[in-house]
A = this chain, B = another copy of it.
Amino acid sequence: MFRLIALIAVSALLASSPAYAAANELLALSQTIFKPLPAEPPAIEGNPATPAKLELGKMLFFDPRLSASQLISCNTCHNVGLAGGDLQETSVGHNWQKGPRNAPTVMNAVFNSAQFWDGRAKDLAEQAKGPVQASVEMNNTPERVLETLGSMPEYVDRFAKAFPNEKTPLTFDNVARAIEVFEAVLLTPAPFDSYLRGDASALTDQEKAGLELFINKGCAGCHDGVNVGGSGYFPFGVVEKPGNEVMSADDKGRFQVTNTASDEYVFRAPSLRNVALTAPYFHSGKVWSLQEATSIMGSSQLGISLTPEDEKLLVAFMVSLNGAQPQIVYPLLPVSTAKTPKPILQ
């Protein structure tokens, strides 16, 4: 709340300055609120990246044999060709079951404070273990994953090389750690990052006007930092709860994790990086238009009614968060052996 008041105070100052100074101040102010994406993937505590671990993680990310059906890989719902998401309201998993929530993008997810819409996983490694076991997603068990991977000599060898000082390199934890190391390289530097590094020409005038609105209207109160969101927890909505056409009364968000009344309908504010590339929106995936989602955020979270012009400027700013997507060479996966468990479709 203090930060929000400070922002409003600074924005008031900004509004009274001449154009050139204002432009500089907008940049300076933005630099206090947001951070550019680092050029290199961050070091992960307790899980150092090596080329062997990175390549293994990529293979696991693309291997449908992490799922019981051997049909669904991480990439099915976090498609690296689709900015790390899927095209569904809520993801579809084992036996064509519809899951409860929209798939968050894997791009830049390493910079989120926690993973899942309700933040129930503290990092990407913990996150990776969830969908593998969820009955509506990959419907597998840790034991079967290890039996599957252990049946292929190439995987056994690659785990030994990725986790060289461990007595038992092939563990479910290490499956998750390797995937985490791969996911941590999925970074998408955007024009907004060049802007934050001081290149004022990296954004168009329209995008800058959108950025100014984004700060002045209070959007940056929740969507800040390196991921322009992804850190704090907030009720949906702060001011006015959206109708059931946008959110389901059954999904109480973080309450399901903490069992604390104040966490009812609380969700982690998503990162807005690549948001224009990852419709549909919200945990429900019920809204397909970014402008409509922006309008709903205005009323539900800020208690304001944005004009269509404001919404368009805000969308223009968000488009400047579209990043250069990572180039991924499709991994060649080891061949199954006689010991590999067979797909289970039902």
Question: Which B residues are in CB contact (< 8 Å) with A338?
Answer: 288-289
The docked-state distance in angstroms from the alpha carbon of A279 to that of B152 is 14
The docked-state distance in angstroms from the alpha carbon of A343 to that of B64 is 22
Which residue on B lies nearest to A331, using beta carbons?
Answer: B81
The docked-state distance in angstroms from the alpha carbon of A276 to that of B81 is 29
Pairwise interchain contact A333-B81, C-beta atoms closer than 8 A: yes
Contact of A70 among B65, B88, B98, B342 (CB under 8 A): B88
Contact of A81 among B69, B98, B330 (CB under 8 A): B330
The docked-state distance in angstroms from the alpha carbon of A298 to that of B329 is 40
Pairwise interchain contact B288-A333, C-beta atoms closer than 8 A: no
Could you tell me the distance in whole angstroms from the C-beta of A93 to the nearest C-beta in chain B? 10
Within 8 A of B (CB), among A219-239: none
Contact of A336 among B87, B98, B342 (CB under 8 A): B87
The docked-state distance in angstroms from the alpha carbon of A79 to that of B71 is 10
Within 8 A of B (CB), among A286-334: 288-289, 325, 327-333
CB of A28 closer than 8 Å to a CB of B: no
The docked-state distance in angstroms from the alpha carbon of A262 to that of B87 is 47
Pairwise interchain contact A87-B62, C-beta atoms closer than 8 A: no
Question: Which B residues are in CB contact (< 8 Å) with A336?
Answer: 87, 279
Number of A residues near B (Cβ < 8 Å) is 40
Contact of A86 among B71, B289, B330 (CB under 8 A): B71
CB of A5 closer than 8 Å to a CB of B: no
CB of A37 closer than 8 Å to a CB of B: no
CB of A96 closer than 8 Å to a CB of B: yes
Could you tell me the distance in whole angstroms from the C-beta of A215 to the nearest C-beta in chain B? 26
Could you tell me the distance in whole angstroms from the C-beta of A184 to the nearest C-beta in chain B? 18
CB of A277 closer than 8 Å to a CB of B: yes
Pairwise interchain contact B87-A330, C-beta atoms closer than 8 A: no
Contact of A329 among B65, B330, B332 (CB under 8 A): B330
Could you tell me the distance in whole angstroms from the C-beta of A325 to the nearest C-beta in chain B? 5
- Can you identify 26 A-B contacts, CB atoms within 8 angstroms? A63-B81, A64-B87, A65-B87, A70-B86, A71-B88, A79-B333, A80-B330, A81-B330, A81-B332, A81-B333, A87-B336, A87-B343, A88-B343, A89-B343, A92-B345, A96-B345, A276-B335, A277-B335, A279-B336, A288-B338, A288-B342, A289-B338, A327-B329, A328-B330, A329-B329, A330-B330
Closest A-B pairs by Cβ, 5 of them: A96-B96, A70-B87, A328-B330, A81-B333, A277-B335
